[in-house]
A and B are shown apart, each in its own frame.
Chain A
Amino acid sequence: GNSVTQMEGPVTLSEEAFLTINCTYTATGYPSLFWYVQYPGEGLQLLLKATKADDKGSNKGFEATYRKETTSFHLEKGSVQVSDSAVYFCALSVYGNNRLAFGKGNQVVVIP
């Protein structure tokens, strides 16, 4: 089946630090990959996406590259801000199917 695995546990870091959140996937078809962000008390917002191998999605200083050889889509940001504190979800959907499979999410806390 289709599944997404995110690294365990919350991530706490200082403002202006480098952020990496790992995401790996398994898929029966050819997936599109997504990162969604959820701020406290809100729904999910699309952060970035990539639809084919070697594509790089980017938005608001965040980047992720679709790596088919390692089945990964790690999220990175070079210098985080307090306003980046949120829960980040990696997700996939398979071609021809708009059904999303999500990872468990990572809580990111940025300390001033």
Chain B
Amino acid sequence: DAGVTQSPTHLIKTRGQQVTLRCSPKSGHDTVSWYQQALGQGPQFIFQYYEEEERQRGNFPDRFSGHQFPNYSSELNVNALLLGDSALYLCASSLEAGRSGGTDTQYFGPGTRLTVL
């Protein structure tokens, strides 16, 4: 049973560029959440996708956008990159809260390390 996978593993970009990160959820999961983890900090919630729609959003600017595909995989896009966007980006998958009885454990991928120069 494949777990959550993410690509690429590492990425280096320059300020002002755009980046797309990809995530495939654990088999059987239908909800994908994205988190940003700055160095030495805990992960911060960016947004969550279910049924190809953004269901929840954290305190991140509109430069951060996403998409979910019919096979439940997801992309995170960041436009106009800033130095402060350098972080580990984590994808997590779960069952939708309603289907899982109110809350469900999230399983994380290995992350994509983004460096903005």
Q: Which residues of A contact B (CB under 8 A)?
A: 4, 32, 34, 36, 42-46, 49, 51, 89, 91, 93-105
Contact = CB atoms under 8 A, between A and B. Distances in A.
B108 interface: yes
B43 A44 contact: yes
B60 to A, nearest CB: 13
Interface in B24-52: 31, 33, 35, 40-45, 48
A43 B3 CA distance: 12
A102 B42 contact: yes
Nearest to B95: A98
Nearest to A45: B108
Contacts of A42: 110-111
Given A96-B103, A98-B33, A104 B108 contact: no
B76 interface: no
B21 interface: no
A43 B108 contact: yes
Interface in B71-106: 90, 92, 94, 96-98, 100, 102-106
Given A46-B107, A98-B48, A100-B43, 11 more contacts: A4-B42, A36-B108, A43-B4, A44-B108, A89-B43, A93-B106, A97-B97, A98-B31, A100-B33, A103-B42, A104-B42
